A and B are shown apart, each in its own frame.
Chain A
Amino acid sequence: MKRLLPWVLSIAAALLFLAPLLWMLRASFSPETQIFQPGFAGGIFHGSWTLQNYADAWRRAALGSAMLNSLLQVAGIVSVGLLINTLAAYAFARLEFPGRELLFGVVVVLIILPVEVIAVPLFFTARDLGLTAGYGPAMAGLIAPFLAKAFNIYFLRQHFLTLPIELEEAAVIDGAGAWQQFWNVALPSIRPALATVVVLDLLTHWGDFLWPLMISTREETRTVQISLANLFTQPPIQWGAILACAVMATLPVLALFRWLQRYIVITDSRTGIK
């Protein structure tokens, strides 16, 4: 009995955490009339199955273009942002220049600044730069403000600092310039930290809501989260289609789940205690 209790508790807790998501998946394949039936409750075996919800969601939420926009947005932020932030982090860690400590101090202070504080004036800055007119500029408007990130610069700098200086001195003797040093020696040595930054940015920006809500107001620039919110609020309300859209918006992150989980743990052990 005493041996069994941890198992019973664990399975109950696991169900509590998974049930809502499993229910979402099952209900997204069931006819509208069945979703709120008390007897249904996400039953896997009884009740009928349909793909109609996905067809409706695909059409009404313009899921094809919405998914593409979200993918472009996240890919842009992650890839270009990674390059920009590692460059700056490397300079702060390894290159000596006047005012370095002061400048780095400013970056550290910016870490705590939540995007909500600057969202409103940021909207005007984006508009002044023409980042709200037309598809291309609006996509740039989704991406550009989040490329340089104070936390990422700080985090990557800490990892560059842990590299043994002898490694780089050896490269200097071989005649490597600052760029070769950065690209061939330092960057490959902090791969796990790079993965952590990619994972954090990916998760954060895939779920972005406030900023896209403000800037991607045109239908063709909507991200998947905004499309979902529109489907959720605009009549006629089709619960099945909403659930199908929610599942589609979750698939990309679930597909990367193993990878996400591996690197997020590293993050926390490194940043948990700064």
Chain B
Amino acid sequence: MTAWKKSYARAAPWFLLPALILLSLFVVWPLVRASLWSFTNADLLNPAQKQWVGAGNYGGLLADAQFRQAFGNTALFALLVVPIQVTLAFVLALWVNRPEPAWRWLRVVFFVPTVVSMPVLAVLWTILYQPAQRTEMGLINVALTTVGLPTRAWLHDPHWALPALAFMSLWQGVGLQMMIFLAGLQGVPAELHEASRIDGANAFQRVVHVIIPALRNTIVFVVTVTTILAFRLFVQPYLMTHGGPANRTRSLIQSIYETTFLGQELGRACAAAILFLAWVGLLTLLQRYFSREDRA
């Protein structure tokens, strides 16, 4: 090691300490606590007095109909959002990937909803989804009436509430995924396009045989991130439906929040959080597995 490298190594602690102290205090320590508490019957109001209950909370959760329903709702939400959002984002990216300025404007338009905060959009879409009462109704029902379709009480209808949340969520998020795909498309070598054009491939064949394989890692990345985001669903059901109607929209994170602050069952809530983390970890491992390892 040269002299300057040694002097630099001595400076390292000062560069690292602020971040490491904060990460330990506000990330690692709470994570350790969540893991430990998940094996106890800790109570929100008195977390110091707790007893070891082994895997009891985990067993209880897996057998709990409410928790299973919350997981099921969230999984259904993800199933509705992820395939549609990723496909739509991909199609939009192909659609606006042209050099003229007009297309740049369209890109911006698709991107606008993603910068608006979710609580704002949750409130706005609750108003847009307002059911028809006497002569009054929300904008969505106005639009449906205009084209001759029946109105619905979207957020109050057990069959339509979750799809309604999924629709506004993908309207909000699709622009960001589109941007990621656009960045990926810019990385597809022009020679690939040229070669396939010379081979006489039409636009559809080019997408299937050239673009999709070239964007494989981007697609896997977008699918994983969208899935994890979908499983973190909280603001929409919390503000728009309160988990109703008939618990049809209660999400996983919402049930953790309610188990903590309404049920005051801290140990159980921590067990649910750890299960959620295991799920996110599994999704991340799947992404690793499906990504092509052609990078350093």
Q: Interface residues, chain A, CB within 8 Å of chain B?
A: 10, 13-14, 16-21, 23-24, 27, 35-38, 41-42, 84-85, 87-88, 90-91, 94-97, 103, 107, 110, 112-114, 116-122, 124-125, 144-148, 150, 153, 172, 177-179, 181-182, 203, 206-207, 209-210, 214, 225, 228-229, 232-233, 239, 242-243, 246, 249-250, 253-254, 257, 260-261, 264-265, 268-269, 272-274
Residues on B with C-beta less than 8 A from A94 are 8
User: A107–B184 Cα gap in the complex (Å)?
Assistant: 26
Q: Are A87 and B16 neighbours in the complex by a CB distance under 8 Å?
A: yes
- Indicate which residue in B7, B31, B113, B139 contacts A42 across the interface (CB closer than 8 Å): B139
Residues on A with C-beta less than 8 A from B210 are none
Residues on A with C-beta less than 8 A from B14 are 87
User: A85–B115 Cα gap in the complex (Å)?
Assistant: 24
Q: Are A116 and B128 neighbours in the complex by a CB distance under 8 Å?
A: no
Q: Are A24 and B280 neighbours in the complex by a CB distance under 8 Å?
A: no
Interface of B is mostly: helix
Is B130 positioned at the interface, with any CB of A under 8 Å from its CB? yes
Residues on B with C-beta less than 8 A from A107 are 23
- Indicate which residue in A20, A88, A249, A268 contacts B16 across the interface (CB closer than 8 Å): A88
Nearest-CB residue, chain B, relative to A153: B19
Is B145 positioned at the interface, with any CB of A under 8 Å from its CB? yes
User: A135–B253 Cα gap in the complex (Å)?
Assistant: 28
Residues on A with C-beta less than 8 A from B106 are 10, 13-14
A117-B274, A117-B276, A206-B117 known; A21 vs B9 contact (CB < 8 Å): no
Is B218 positioned at the interface, with any CB of A under 8 Å from its CB? yes
CB distance from B136 to the nearest CB of A (A): 4
Q: Are B12 and A91 neighbours in the complex by a CB distance under 8 Å?
A: yes
Give the segment of B61-69, B79-87, B231-239 that binds chain A. B231-239
Q: Are A122 and B171 neighbours in the complex by a CB distance under 8 Å?
A: no
Q: Are A112 and B179 neighbours in the complex by a CB distance under 8 Å?
A: no
Is B34 positioned at the interface, with any CB of A under 8 Å from its CB? yes
Q: Interface residues, chain B, CB within 8 Å of chain A?
A: 1, 4-5, 7-9, 11-16, 18-20, 22-23, 25-31, 33-34, 37, 47, 92, 95, 106, 108-113, 115-120, 123-128, 130, 133, 135-139, 142-143, 145, 171, 175-176, 179-180, 182-184, 186-187, 217-218, 221-222, 228, 232, 234-235, 238-239, 253, 256-257, 260-261, 266, 269-270, 273-274, 276-277, 280-281, 284, 291, 295
Nearest-CB residue, chain A, relative to B285: A112
User: A272–B126 Cα gap in the complex (Å)?
Assistant: 33
Q: Are B115 and A114 neighbours in the complex by a CB distance under 8 Å?
A: no
User: A182–B142 Cα gap in the complex (Å)?
Assistant: 58
- Indicate which residue in A20, A121, A122, A254 contacts B124 across the interface (CB closer than 8 Å): A20
User: A14–B4 Cα gap in the complex (Å)?
Assistant: 57
User: A148-B26, A153-B19 given. 16 additional CB < 8 A pairs?
Assistant: A10-B106, A87-B15, A91-B15, A95-B11, A112-B228, A114-B277, A114-B280, A178-B7, A181-B8, A209-B118, A228-B120, A229-B119, A253-B117, A257-B112, A264-B179, A268-B180
User: A177–B109 Cα gap in the complex (Å)?
Assistant: 47
- Indicate which residue in A10, A96, A120 contacts B9 across the interface (CB closer than 8 Å): A96
Q: Are B117 and A23 neighbours in the complex by a CB distance under 8 Å?
A: no
CB distance from B188 to the nearest CB of A (A): 12
